[in-house]
Structure 1
Amino acid sequence: MACAAVLAGAGPSWATPTGESPAVQRVVPRIIDTESVDDRTVALPQADSTLRVRYTSTSVRGVPTVMSGTLLTPSTPPPAGGWPLAVWNHMTVGAADDCAPSAAHAGHPELPRMVSGDAIVSRLLDAGFVVARPDFEGIGEPGPHPYLIGDSLARSTIDMALATADHDARIGRDVVVAGHSEGAVAALAAAARPSSEWGRLRLRAVSALAPPTQVADLLDAASHVPVAGPAVNELMGLAALIGSGAAAADPAFDELMDNGGLSNAARALRPQVETRCYADLTAPDSFGGLAPAQLLGPRGDEMKQALTTILRSNDVARLRFSPDLPVRIDSGTVDTVSPQLLVSGLARDYRRAGVRVTYADRFTGHAGVATDRDTAAVIARWLVSQI
C-alpha cells in the first residue's frame, strides 16, 4: 500500500496531544503492512513468529510518514495481563534504506551492527517478552534519517510501541525500552517523554548501552586533523551521518551545508549518505578518504557553530526523567566512540538530578557493550526484573 494512500485515508487517526500547538499534529500510529519473516538473520530462533512491519508515524519536521521495523513474539503463551513489551533500538548502521535492520541478510556489510542486540533480544524473548525493533525514521522507508536527533528517535520508538500494542491484543500494558549507541539515544529520549505520549502503555524501565554524549565537543576536538586514513576514517563516516541528520531536522542547516558550509569535495560525497551504510561511508572513496580538515567550506565556521547548537540541544545529558523510572547505563572501558569517562559522567549527572541509575562498565569496546554474552545476560535480567 502506498504511503500517500495510507495517510490520505488516515483522517480519523490524527490527534493533537494536549499542550502542543494545534499546528503540530501527530498521526496516531498504526501498523499498515505486515510480512512474515523466516530468514534466521532477522527471525531469531527464540521467537514464535517474526513480522516485518510498516507503521504510520510523524516525521521530525511534523508531517505524516511511514516507518518500518520488526515485531517478534515469544513462544510462551501470554499471561493473564498480556505479554510485556520491549522495544530494542539498534546501534548506528547508516541512513540509507538498505541499512534497515529489518532487511538484514547474510553477507550484508552492516550485519554485525544490525544484529548487535540479538543476545539481549533473544533473552527477552525467552523471558516471555514481545520485542519490537524499529528501523528509525528514514531507514527502510522514504525520507532522510535524522541521525542522533532525539525528537525523531523518540517518535520512532514510542510509535512502534503504540502501533505494536494496537496490532496485537495479547500485549499487556508494561513496556521497557533499551538500545545500543544511537539506539541508546533513542531509548533515553523516548523514556524522557511524558507518560501521556505512551498512551495505555506503562513504561517500567530504560536501558542505555554506550550512549553517545558530548558529541559536539568530540567532533570539534578532531576537526583540525590534517590527514585522512585508518585513524580517522570511522570518525569521518560518523561526521557524515551527523551532518546529514542535522540537515534532516533543520532546513536552514541543510541549506547551509550545500551553500558554503561543506567543502566542494565533501559536498560531492553528500549523496552517498542516502546510498551507503556506515561501513561504506568510512571507505577511501567516500568520507573515509577525507581528512577532518577537508570537510569545511568557506562558511565552515558558521556551519560548525550551527551544528554544535543542534548537537548540544539533542545531547542526552539534557534529558530529564521521572524520579520513579529505573535507568540503567552500561559502558565499555576501552570504547572510543562513547568514551567511558563521558558515559560514567552522564550517569553521575543523572543521579545528581534525582534519577534512579544503575551503572556498570566492562573491559570492552563500543560493540562489545551489547555483544558480550555475559553483559547481555546481565542487562536482560535487569530489564526482566523491572516488570
Structure 2
Amino acid sequence: MKHRLFGWGTLLVVPVLLAPVAHADSSPGPRIVAEAVVSDAPVAHPGASVTTVFRYTSVGVDGGPTEMTGSYSLPRTPPPPGGWPILVFSHMTVGGADKCAPSTIRAGDPELIRTNTGDAVAGRMLDAGFVVVRPDYEGIGTPGPHPYLMGRSLARAVIDSARAVHGADERIGSDVVLMGHSEGAVAALFASAADESEWGSLTLRGVTAVTPPTGMRQIIESAHAIPFSGSGIGDMVGLAALFIVGASTVDPAFADILRNGGLSAPAVALLPDTESRCFGELSSPSSFGRLAPSQLLGPNGKLASATLANIADANDVAHLRIDHTVPIRIDAGAADPVVPVPVALALAAHYRSIGNDVTFAVQPGGHTAVPSSPEAAESIARWLVDAAGRHS
C-alpha cells in the first residue's frame, strides 16, 4: 500500500532473509512468493517439525495487489488421508510497525507477551496433527500502514495466508479452523463471515474468538472526552492512535478530516510512531501514552470523532452474518477490562439469536492472558479439534 496519512516514511524491518519461491503453474489465488525455515526464533514452536516464515500475495484494503507475511508450522505426525487440517491463529494487538510482526519478532522483545498468546493452543493443535498458520496482517512486516481493526483487511490476511500455505504443500488438507485473540478475534470472525467462494478449495469448520472487541462506537463516543492521562489510560490512547490510522486507510474522507484539524498538533506530531513503535511503546509516556484522550482531537475533532465512530460501527463483529453450519466459540476473561464478560456474553447471545451454534466460556485472567493458561488452552484446542472432526 502507498497510502500515507501525513506522508511519513516506512521503516521496513526484515530480520529473516526470505528466499524466492518458484511456481510451476500460474493458477490464480494467493501464493507464497518467498520463504525461509527458522529454528531459533520465538515463532518456531518447539512442537513443530519445521516452522517457515513466508511472504504471500494478497489484496490490500485499497483493492490493489499487495503482499503480506506470516509463518506456518508443520506437525510431527504423518499426514492423515486427505492431509493435515489447518489452524489459522490470528494474534492480538501488537502495533502497526514492521518490527512488531510475530513472524520475525526477536527473543527478549517485550511485545512477545502479545505476539505469542496462542502458543499454548498452537502446541496442542500441532500435537493433534494440525498445521498452524499465523498471519502478521496487512502493513505489519510489509510496507504501508496497518488497517487496524478493519475487518475486510484482517479477513483477507486470514483467508489468503491459509490458501497460500495449502497450495504450497500437497500434504496439507482442505479443512480449516480459526482462532483469534482480541484484534485477531475480529480477524477470525470477519473471515468466518466471508463468502464461501473466497476460501477457494478450503472448507471452514469452526471459529474460536477470544476476547472479541465489540461496541467500539460506544467506547469512542464516551472516551474521547476523558481529560487525564496515566496508568491504564495510556493503553486506551495507544489503541486509539492505531484505530485512527487504521480507519484512515479505508475512508479517504476521514483521512481528509484528520489532515484538516481533526487531530491536535501533539497527536499529529506523534503519528509517525505508529509505524516505528509496537503497542507497548505507543502506550508509554514516551509516545501517545502521555496524552489524555481529550488531547487527541483538534479543532475539527467533533466531526473526526463522529466519523470514526461510524467506521468503528461498520467494522463491528456484532453485524456479521456467519453461516449457521460453522460453529462459533467465544472465550471471555473473568478480569478483562477491555472486553468485560457481559460484553462478550451479549455478543454470544446475539449470535445465538440469529441462529448460530455458539459455545461460550469464561477463563481466568485479564485480556492478554485468557488463552494462555493450561486449562483454557486445553479447552479451546479440544473444541477446535472437535469442530474440525465433525465432518470427517
TM-score greater than 0.5 by the shorter chain:
yes
Write the distance in 1 (CA, Å) between the matches of 2:257 and 2:275.
Answer: 18
Paired amino acid for 1:184 = A
Write the distance in 1 (CA, Å) between the matches of 2:339 and 2:380.
Answer: 18
- % identical equivalent positions: 51
Write the distance in 2 (CA, Å) between the matches of 1:364 and 1:342.
Answer: 16
Give the stretch that moved more between structures: 346-355 or 250-259. 250-259
Return the offset for 1:168.
0.8
Q: Does 1:136 align with 2:137?
A: yes
Write the distance in 1 (CA, Å) between the matches of 2:138 and 2:299.
Answer: 31
Q: Does 1:341 align with 2:342?
A: yes
RMSD (Å), alpha carbons: 1.5
Paired amino acid for 2:155 = A
Q: Does 1:274 align with 2:279?
A: no
> Where does residue 79 of structure 1 map in the other structure?
80
> Where does residue 229 of structure 2 map in the other structure?
228
Return the offset for 1:172.
1.0
Write the distance in 2 (CA, Å) between the matches of 1:385 and 1:12.
Answer: 36
Alpha-carbon displacement from aligned partner over 1:185-209 (angstroms, at most 9, x marks no partner): 0000000111111111111000000
Write the distance in 2 (CA, Å) between the matches of 1:332 and 1:231.
Answer: 17
Q: Is contact 2:176–2:204 with CA below 8 Å preserved after alignment?
A: yes
Paired amino acid for 1:70 = S
Q: Is contact 2:101–2:136 with CA below 8 Å preserved after alignment?
A: yes
Write the distance in 1 (CA, Å) between the matches of 2:332 and 2:379.
Answer: 13
Write the distance in 2 (CA, Å) between the matches of 1:93 and 1:231.
Answer: 17
> Where does residue 365 of structure 1 map in the other structure?
366
SS state at 2:208 partner = strand
> Where does residue 266 of structure 2 map in the other structure?
265
> Where does residue 166 of structure 1 map in the other structure?
167
Write the distance in 2 (CA, Å) between the matches of 1:275 and 1:40.
Answer: 21
Give the stretch that moved more between structures: 118-127 or 215-224. 215-224
Return the offset for 1:107.
1.5
SS state at 1:101 partner = coil
SS state at 2:52 partner = strand
Distance 1:386 1:299, change over 3 A: same
Paired amino acid for 2:182 = S
Alpha-carbon displacement from aligned partner over 1:316-360 (angstroms, at most 9, x marks no partner): 000011111110000012211112111110000000000000001
> Normalising to structure 1: TM-score of the pair?
0.92
> Where does residue 116 of structure 2 map in the other structure?
115
Runs of 4+ in 1 over 4 A off after TM superposition: 11-14
Alpha-carbon displacement from aligned partner over 1:291-334 (angstroms, at most 9, x marks no partner): 11111001101001110110000000000111111100000122
SS state at 1:254 partner = helix
Write the distance in 1 (CA, Å) between the matches of 2:257 and 2:340.
Answer: 30
> Where does residue 95 of structure 2 map in the other structure?
94
> Where does residue 65 of structure 2 map in the other structure?
64
Give the stretch that moved more between structures: 84-93 or 220-229. 220-229
Query: How many residue pairs are counted as aligned between the two chains?
Result: 367
> Where does residue 19 of structure 1 map in the other structure?
none
Q: Is contact 2:220–2:309 with CA below 8 Å preserved after alignment?
A: no
> Where does residue 351 of structure 1 map in the other structure?
352
Write the distance in 2 (CA, Å) between the matches of 1:309 and 1:217.
Answer: 10
Return the offset for 1:13.
5.3
> Where does residue 256 of structure 1 map in the other structure?
257
Alpha-carbon displacement from aligned partner over 1:219-256 (angstroms, at most 9, x marks no partner): 32221111111131110110011101101222221222
Paired amino acid for 2:192 = A
Q: Does 1:45 align with 2:46?
A: yes
> Where does residue 3 of structure 1 map in the other structure?
none
> Where does residue 154 of structure 1 map in the other structure?
155
Write the distance in 2 (CA, Å) between the matches of 1:158 and 1:60.
Answer: 14
Write the distance in 2 (CA, Å) between the matches of 1:281 and 1:305.
Answer: 24
Paired amino acid for 2:270 = L
Write the distance in 2 (CA, Å) between the matches of 1:74 and 1:184.
Answer: 24
Write the distance in 2 (CA, Å) between the matches of 1:175 and 1:386.
Answer: 9
Long gaps (5+) in structure 2? 1-19
Write the distance in 2 (CA, Å) between the matches of 1:259 and 1:274.
Answer: 21
> Where does residue 176 of structure 1 map in the other structure?
177
Return the offset for 1:12.
5.4
Paired amino acid for 2:308 = L
Write the distance in 2 (CA, Å) between the matches of 1:349 and 1:307.
Answer: 24
> Where does residue 385 of structure 1 map in the other structure?
386
SS state at 2:121 partner = helix
> Normalising to structure 2: TM-score of the pair?
0.91
Write the distance in 1 (CA, Å) between the matches of 2:105 and 2:115.
Answer: 7
Write the distance in 2 (CA, Å) between the matches of 1:249 and 1:271.
Answer: 19
Write the distance in 2 (CA, Å) between the matches of 1:205 and 1:363.
Answer: 23
Return the offset for 1:373.
1.7
Write the distance in 1 (CA, Å) between the matches of 2:240 and 2:27.
Answer: 37
Write the distance in 2 (CA, Å) between the matches of 1:331 and 1:268.
Answer: 36
SS state at 2:158 partner = helix
Long gaps (5+) in structure 1? 1-5, 15-27
Write the distance in 1 (CA, Å) between the matches of 2:27 and 2:226.
Answer: 50
Write the distance in 2 (CA, Å) between the matches of 1:372 and 1:310.
Answer: 34
Query: 1:209-220 residue pairs with structure 2 within 5 A?
Result: 209-220=210-221
Write the distance in 1 (CA, Å) between the matches of 2:215 and 2:179.
Answer: 20
Return the offset for 1:62.
0.3
> Where does residue 319 of structure 1 map in the other structure?
320
Write the distance in 1 (CA, Å) between the matches of 2:27 and 2:244.
Answer: 33
